[in-house]
Amino acid sequence: MSAVTEPLSRKPSSDTRIDTIDMHTGGEPVRIVTAGYPAIPGATILEKRRFARDHLDAFRRLIMFEPRGHYDMYGVLQVEPDLPGADMAVLFIHNEGYSTMCGHATIALGRYALDQGLIKAGADGIATLKLQCPCGLVEVNVTATGPEKGRVSFVSVPAFAFALDVTVDVPGKGKVKLDIGYGGAYYAFLPAGTFGLDVRRSLTAELVAAASAVTKAVQAQIQLHHPDDPDLAFLYGTILTDGGDGATKPTANICVFAADEVDRSPTGSGVTARLALMAARREVADDEWRQFESVTGSIFQGRVAAHQKAGTFDAIRAEVAGRAYYTGSASFTVEADDPLAGGFLLR
C-alpha cells in the first residue's frame, strides 16, 4: 500500500480554527498566530516563505482580510528557525503577501517573547531574543525592569543606500529625484514636498496616491539586486518624509507599502533604511539617536550602531526602539456555507 501524502496546497475548512494574540506598535496592528495555522515546510526561511505564498495563501487571506481583518491588517506566522542560535523564526504577512522584514512587528515580538517565557531577563534587566526574519537574524532587546520597562529595540540586518539622487519619471508627476535604501526591505524615499504635500497636514489619500505612483515608477524603471538572495530584491514601498533629520525634533514620514497599505507606525525597517541613507551622506554620527514620527504621532528612536559590508555595499547596522501594546486575542473559525468565508477587501 502506498503512503498517503497530504496535498501541498490547502484551504481553510469548517475544521479550521486559528488562534491569535493581537498587539499594536505605534498604532500599527500585529496579529501573532499562536495555533491552528498549517505547518510550513522548507529547509530555509525563504523556502518557507515561498511555500506559504504558493500553497497556503488562502489562510493568509482568511486572517488578514475582512471580515476577520481589514485592508491594513498585519500579521506574524511562527515557523521553525534554520539559523544556529535563533530563538524564534517568523514570516510577516499583510494585504498583498509576505514581507522580508518588519520592525514594528519585531518590537511587538520582543515583548511577546518575554511575556510568554521564551526569553528571560539577565541581571541587567534586559532580555534578548534572537529572531530569524526572512532577511536574516535580528537581535531584539527587551527592557524588563525599571523606568524603561517595556521598551524594545532591535539591531537590524546590514542596511545600505542602494541609490542616491536617482531620477525616476513618475506618470502625471514628471521627473522626480529620490533615494532607494535597504533596511531588511527596499524602499524609495523622497520628501512629500516634491508633490506639494505635507506629511502632517495633507490628506492621507493624497499622500497614498503620490507614494503609490512612485512605487510603480521605481518598480518599472529601476532594477534592484541584493547581495544575499534574489528573493530580497524587490521594492516594498515608498516613504514620503518631511525632509527633516530627526536630530532636534522628530522627523515625520508616511510609509505606503504592499498594496497601498499605510503603516501607522514610523516603520522600523524604513527607519533602518533612512539611517543607512543618512550614514551614506554623513548626515548622522555613530551612536547618535534620532527620532522618527508616524502619521499617528507615534515615535521610534534610531541610531547607527555599527558599520560593515553587504556585498559591495557599505552598510550599517541600525538600532531602532519603540513600544508595543496588547489589544486582545481571538479564535477565528469558518462556517462551511459562508459565501464570504475566504475573505474580501474594501477600500
Strand pairing report for 159-170 and 174-182? antiparallel
Helix (H) or strand (E) holding 176: strand 174-182
Cell of 200: 502632517
> Which is the catalytic residue, given 102, 133, 135, 255?
102
- With contact defined as beta carbons under 8 Å apart, do 299 and 110 qualify? no
Provide the 8-state DSSP code for 66.
B
Instruction: Specify whether the CB–CB gap between 181 and 276 falls below 8 A.
Output: yes
Q: How far apart are CA 238 and CA 76, in angstroms?
A: 22
Residue whose C-alpha is closest to residue 211's, from 174, 242, 170, 256: 256
Tell me the angle at which helices 268-280 and 103-115 cross, rounded to the nearest 10 degrees: 130
Greatest alpha-carbon span in the chain = 72
- Supply 337's cell numbers: 456555507
Q: What gap in Å lies between CA 81 and CA 31, rounded to an integer? A: 20
As given in the structure block, the three cell numbers for residue 33 are 498566530
Helix residue spans in 131-247 (DSSP H)? 204-221
Closest CA relative to residue 324, chosen from 76, 17, 59, 93: 76
Instruction: Cell numbers for 71, please give them.
Output: 485592508
In the annotation, is 102 catalytic?
yes
Q: Compute φ and ψ for 291, nearest 5 degrees.
A: -115, 140
If DSSP codes are grouped into helix, strand and coil, which group holds residue 117?
A: coil
List the alpha helices (DSSP H) in 29-121. Answer: 45-55, 57-64, 103-115
Distances (CA, A) of 137 to 68, 130, 317: 31, 7, 12
Cα–Cα nearest to 271, from 334, 185, 164: 185
Give the cell for residue 276.
543607512
Enzyme catalytic residues: 102
